[in-house]
Chain A
């Protein structure tokens, strides 16, 4: 992170003190590396992504290490988590036949959710998907699975044939082919990734703006009222983000489930 927030933290930068508002921006998403190996820089978002993966793995390992008929506290929590994904995300798209994809969808949902919620946890306070480089690998994994399942269940030709609905006159096919190809290979994965990235990026920026503004406006003047307003907005955005973090993980996983469904069942 650049020095803006550092200057604020040192307490010198307030309204009417001759200090301009240090508006947050792209620089607040760039982190100084903890260490570097050649051109590879190990930064805070990488650390948070690893922590998120570990949290998911350790939680489910602890919950189902020794499953019992009468579940303990951890197992009950794990079961609630798995059933929530199964009943709200998997079953509505794939039905009972799709239960074999449950481990993938549960992992995906909680990995994204933990990465998102880190935005709201003090000290961590950074949503990993607000760095778009962490989103594209997830999109790639989903899209690779989507295509692989499509080819496996419908064959190469059959898979591409399902992209355009049957029964349309052949000249229409020629018109639609560029649209369909671009939608399938470019815009569908693009919107899948950019939605997650954009929401987390914007949310973090809003939180940063109102938090810094609260501190900046804090002074024994009319600024105090503005600071109070800014503080209320920061609280509001915080509460909003608790929903957005969950919603974005939900949307990403639901769309993944619907993509898998359309690959496995072409008529879906």
Chain B
């Protein structure tokens, strides 16, 4: 009987840990998604602005779109550098809560 009770408690703890892991994954995914979107816009805007200013000074209008494309390229490169190599991204984070169940913390 007590074994059944322990099993039920363990199952409940596992379910709770899985739910927590899913919630952590959701929060992380949301943050990364919107940060990436912000980087894409910021890269184009920053280098588009620089391109536009330089283009105005040297009378080459093409520097504005060129700056935007360059900014987009820089953003994409930076996004790959920063998030493409981050451990845990795109992988389910089920290992961390397991520690909690076994009483490591």
Contacts and interface: CB of A to CB of B under 8 A. Distances in A.
B30 interface: yes
Given A251-B30, A255-B31, A179 B23 contact: no
B45 A258 contact: no
B69 interface: no
A187 B45 contact: yes
B27 interface: yes
Given A175-B74, A176-B78, A255-B34, A187 B42 contact: yes
Contacts of B75: 179
Contact of B46 (A165, A179, A192): A179
Contacts of A192: 34
A254 B30 CA distance: 8
Chain A interface, >50% SS class: helix
B38 A89 contact: no
A182 B43 CA distance: 8
Of A92, A190, A254, most B-chain CB atoms within 10 Å: A92
Contacts of A191: 34, 37-38, 41
A93 interface: yes
A141 B75 CA distance: 28
A257 interface: yes
B35 interface: yes
A91 interface: yes
Contacts of B27: 89, 92-93, 254, 257-258
Nearest to A188: B38
B42 A92 contact: no
A88 to B, nearest CB: 5
Nearest to A192: B34
A89 B26 CA distance: 9
Contacts of B34: 188, 191-192, 195, 255
B39 interface: yes
Contacts of B50: 178
A176 B45 CA distance: 13
B19 to A, nearest CB: 8
A192 B41 CA distance: 13
Interface of B: 19-20, 23-24, 26-28, 30-31, 34-35, 37-39, 41-43, 45-47, 50, 71, 74-75, 78, 81-82
Question: What are the 10 A-B residue pairs with the smallest beta carbon separation, nearest first?
Answer: A183-B42, A178-B46, A92-B23, A182-B42, A258-B31, A92-B24, A187-B38, A92-B27, A187-B41, A182-B46
21 contacts: A88-B23, A92-B24, A92-B26, A92-B27, A93-B24, A93-B31, A179-B74, A179-B75, A181-B46, A182-B46, A183-B38, A183-B39, A183-B42, A186-B42, A187-B38, A191-B37, A191-B38, A254-B31, A255-B31, A257-B27, A258-B30
